[in-house]
Amino acid sequence: MANVRVLVPKKLEHCYDVLVAGGGLAGVMAAIAAAREGKQVLLIEKYGCLGGMATAGLVFPFMRDCEIGSGRQVNAGLYLSMLEELYAMGGSNAPHSKQYKDELLKILLDRMVTRAGVKVLFHSKLCEAEMTDGCITSVMVATVSGMLRLRAKVLIDATGNADLCAFAGLPFQLGREEDGLCQPMTLCFRFANVDMERFDRRQATAAYQELRARGEIRNPRENVLSFRYSVDHVLHMNTTRANVKDPTDVEEVSGAEMLLREQMLEMYHFMREHVPGMEACELISSAVEAGIRESRRIVGVSCLTTEDVTGVRKREDSIARGAYGIDIHNPAGTGTFQQNLPPNEYYTVPYGALVPVRSHNVIVAGRSISSTHEALSAVRVMPITSCIGEAAGIAAAMAIDGDTGLAEVNVPRLREKITGYGGLV
Ligand SMILES: Cc1cc2nc3c(=O)[nH]c(=O)nc-3n(C[C@H](O)[C@H](O)[C@H](O)COP(=O)(O)OP(=O)(O)OC[C@H]3O[C@@H](n4cnc5c(N)ncnc54)[C@H](O)[C@@H]3O)c2cc1C
C-alpha cells in the first residue's frame, strides 16, 4: 500500500489583527474595511462562497436603500461600490440596481476581498470561543482540515446569529418582548420556465388564498411572495414559512428545513395546476439553508429602539443609516405587518448597538446588533447590514491603533472615517 497517511493536525499559530466570523455581506464589508485600514484580516466562513443570505441563502433583491419620495441614497460606501462593480461585470442591469445575479455576486465578493488582502478560510465553522476578563483569547473553528484554534487582537461577529458572542458567553436577547418568538424562517427557491407575460402575482395570491381557505394549502403564509428574477423566465420565491421557537436550536432548525421543503413542493404543484403562466414551471434551486430573519440580538452598550426607527431619529453616534421600515412576518403564524418611513426620511444606527456589553475586543456586524424585535425587522435588510459591517471593520482597526476596547473607540473620528470613504452616517 503506497501513500497511506494519518491526519497531521493543521495549525495557524499567527495572531491576526482582526478575525471576522461569517462571510455574509456584513462580514465581507467589515473585513475589507479593516484591511483598508492596514490590518491583517482573517475571514472565516462556513460555506464555500461569500455573500451569506445574498448568495447561498438565495435572498433577493436588495431592499430599500434610499428615501421614499426624494429617492436620496442612504446606504452608500462599500455597498454602493459593490453594486456599481456588479453592474460593470454584467451582474445587474443598472449601476444601482437592487436586482442582481447571485452567481456573479459570489465572484465579485471573492475579487473584492482578494484585492483588499483579506485571507479567507472557507468551509470553516466557528464553534467555540474562549473568553477571559471580557477578551476573546481564541476561537475554535471546525474546518475541512480538522479543528483549528485561531487568535486575533479584535474579533468581528458577522455570523448573523451572534454565534461568536453567544459561544463566548455574552448575553443576548431572543424574539419579541411578550413571548420570545422570532420572525419565521423561510426557504427561498426559484422556478424556471415561467411565462412572465401571463404570470400575475395578485391572481396567484387570489387562487392561493382560496385553496388555503379550503384547507388544501397548509403553508401558513398569507399570500404568494414572488419577485421577477434577473434571468429571463425565472421567478424568485420568498413564500414559505416555518414558525419555530428558537432558530438557533439545532433540532428545531432541522425540522424546519424539512417542513419548508414540503411547502416548496406544495407551492410547485399549486403553481403548475392553478396559476396562468406557471403551467410548465420547474423547480431549479432552493437555498442551501432556510433563511433566518431574526435570532440572537446582542445586549449592546446602546440599543436601536423601535422609536429610533419609527421616529426617524438621528443619533449623535450614528454609524449608518436606514430607509427600510418595520417589516414583521408574523412570529406566530399568518400575516405580515409593514410600516414604511415617512417620505424623505431615514433613521440612524448608533455605534453602541454594535458593541456587546461586558466585552473588550469584540464587535458585531450585521443583523445581530443590539435592537428591539421591531427595530430589527427594519435594520436587517442587506443594504443596511452591509453599511453596519463597513463601520464595524473601521472601528476594529481604530481599537487596535488606539489600543482601546471597542466601547472606547472615538465615535466622531469613526464617523469622519466612514464619510471619508463615501459612507453616510
Ligand atoms: C427569507 C429571508 C428573506 C429576506 N429578504 C430580504 C430581501 O428581499 N432583501 C434584503 O435586503 N434583505 C432580505 N432579508 C434580510 C437579509 O438577507 C439578512 O438579514 C442579511 O443578509 C443579514 O446579513 P448578515 O451579513 O448579517 O448575515 P448573513 O447574510 O446571514 O451572513 C452570515 C454569514 O455567516 C456565516 N456563518 C454563520 N454562522 C457561522 C459560523 N458559526 N461560523 C462561520 N460562518 C458562519 C453564514 O454562512 C453567512 O455567510 C431576508 C432574510 C431572509 C431570511
Cα(339)–Cα(417) distance, rounded to whole angstroms?
Answer: 32
212 alpha carbon – ligand 1 mean position (Å): 30
Average pLDDT over residues 142-151: 95
- What nine digits make up the cell of 415? 464617523
The pLDDT of residue 37 = 98
9 alpha carbon – ligand 1 mean position (Å): 31
pLDDT of 152 > 90? The answer is yes
pLDDT in tens, 398-420: 999 999 999 999 999 999 999 99
Average pLDDT over residues 304-312: 98
Q: Which residue minimizes the CA distance to atom 13 of ligand 1?
A: 381
Q: Is 15-177+294-420's fold the same as 185-292's? A: no
Q: What is the band of 1 on the pLDDT scale with cuts at 50, 70, 90?
A: confident
49 alpha carbon – ligand 1 mean position (Å): 13
- Percent of the chain predicted with pLDDT > 70: 100
Domain 185-292 maps to which CATH number in 3.40.640, 3.30.930, 3.30.70, 3.40.50?
A: 3.30.70
Q: Which residue minimizes the CA distance to atom 27 of ligand 1?
A: 160
Cα(198)–Cα(62) distance, rounded to whole angstroms?
Answer: 25
Q: Which residues contact 178 (CB under 8 A, 6 or more apart)?
A: none
pLDDT in tens, 351-366: 999 999 999 999 999 9
pLDDT of 124 > 90? The answer is yes
Ramachandran assignment for 51, one of left (phi > 0), alpha (psi -120 to 50 degrees), beta (any other): left
Residue 87's nearest CA partner among 50, 57, 52, 62 is 62
Substitution candidate for ligand 1 out of 78, 126, 150, 159 with most atoms within 8 A of CB: 159
pLDDT in tens, 366-402: 999 999 999 999 999 999 999 999 999 999 999 999 9
24 alpha carbon – ligand 1 mean position (Å): 6
Q: Which residue minimizes the CA distance to atom 4 of ligand 1?
A: 59
17 alpha carbon – ligand 1 mean position (Å): 25
Q: What is the band of 9 on the pLDDT scale with cuts at 50, 70, 90?
A: confident
Q: Which residue minimizes the CA distance to atom 5 of ligand 1?
A: 59
52 alpha carbon – ligand 1 mean position (Å): 5
pLDDT of 147 > 90? The answer is yes
162 alpha carbon – ligand 1 mean position (Å): 11
Cα(179)–Cα(362) distance, rounded to whole angstroms?
Answer: 29
54 alpha carbon – ligand 1 mean position (Å): 7
Q: What is the band of 82 on the pLDDT scale with cuts at 50, 70, 90?
A: very high
pLDDT in tens, 187-224: 999 999 999 999 999 999 999 999 999 999 999 999 99
Q: Which ligand 1 atom is nearest residue 25's CA?
A: 25
Mean pLDDT of the chain: 98
Substitution candidate for ligand 1 out of 20, 59, 379 with most atoms within 8 A of CB: 59
Residue type, 43: L
191 alpha carbon – ligand 1 mean position (Å): 22
pLDDT in tens, 332-352: 999 999 999 999 999 999 999
Question: Helix (H, G, I), strand (E, B), or coil: what is residue 273?
Answer: helix
The domain spans of the chain are 15-177+294-420, 185-292
The pLDDT of residue 359 = 98
Q: Which residue minimizes the CA distance to atom 2 of ligand 1?
A: 291
- What nine digits make up the cell of 163? 454565534
115 alpha carbon – ligand 1 mean position (Å): 23
CB atoms within 10 A of CB 246: 16
Residue 165's nearest CA partner among 202, 139, 191, 204 is 139
Q: Which residue minimizes the CA distance to atom 51 of ligand 1?
A: 293
Q: Which residue minimizes the CA distance to atom 21 of ligand 1?
A: 53
Cis ω for the linkage preceding 171 (within 30 of 0) = no
Q: Which ligand 1 atom is nearest residue 125's CA?
A: 42
The pLDDT of residue 358 = 97
422 alpha carbon – ligand 1 mean position (Å): 24
Residue type, 206: A
Residues in the ligand 1 pocket, defined by CB under 6 Å: 21-27, 44-47, 52-54, 59, 61-63, 125-126, 158-161, 163, 186, 188, 238, 291-293, 366-367, 380-382, 385
**CATH superfamily, domain at 15-177+294-420:** FAD/NAD(P)-binding domain (3.50.50.60)
pLDDT of 13 > 90? The answer is no
